[in-house]
Amino acid sequence: MKILLVQTGQTTWQVDSRIESPAGAPLTEEGTRAAQRIAEELTNAGIRAVYASSGEAEQQTAAVLAKHLHVKVHTDEELCELDYGLWQGLTLDEIRHRQPKLYKQWTDDPTSTCPPGGETVQDVHHRLRERIKALAKKPKNTPAVLVLRPTSMGLLRCLLAGDELGQLWRHVDPSFTWAVSEIDPQAL
């Protein structure tokens, strides 16, 4: 199965280095322009559908893609960003100062802890894997687009690379835009 992974562009919270919630924040003008550039690059890719969670940036990105590619957006909550719980809305510096030990543990090995009141990376990894398996049952000749926020994108890229979840931060890249992946559902 071929899927195209599209990461949302810059959001208003990213500009301030704030941790987002699954509901997200709106795209900045630059984020919208990035979505438009990606849509143009995917014009002849034979896309059949765009899948995104209900997060604001995900829906905005998906709408730009769908309009340009003349396809439908499928809202899928299994694709939502990691729930950072009580860290949502805080800057990384605020978290570092308020909970230095927990923050260090999180950055050293994200599988060893969980943001207070939030979701584990293992839980997000599991839901993304199950969603990809379900999508793999769809027709294989026509690719689909998955629109994700950076941490969820990093987890999916980690899964597709066959890396351990402790390697998550290697795969989280705010400047990542899009890529094509061939997926073997049996390998998942």
Predicted confidence (pLDDT) per residue in 48-96, tens digit: 899 999 999 999 999 999 999 999 999 999 999 999 999 999 999 999 9
What is the tally of helices (H) and strands (E) in the chain?
Answer: 8, 5
Q: Domains of the chain: which residue ranges?
A: 2-148+160-187
Q: Could you tell me if 183 and 134 are in contact, meaning their C-beta atoms sit under 8 angstroms apart?
A: no
pLDDT tens for 2-55 read 889 999 989 999 998 899 888 889 999 999 999 999 999 999 998 989 999 999
d(CA 97, CA 110): 18
Q: One-letter amino acid identity for 101?
A: K
Q: Which CATH class is domain 2-148+160-187?
A: alpha beta
Pairwise CA distance, residues 123 & 136, whole Å: 20
Identify the band that residue 141 occupies on the pLDDT scale cut at 50, 70 and 90.
low
pTM (2 decimals)? 0.92
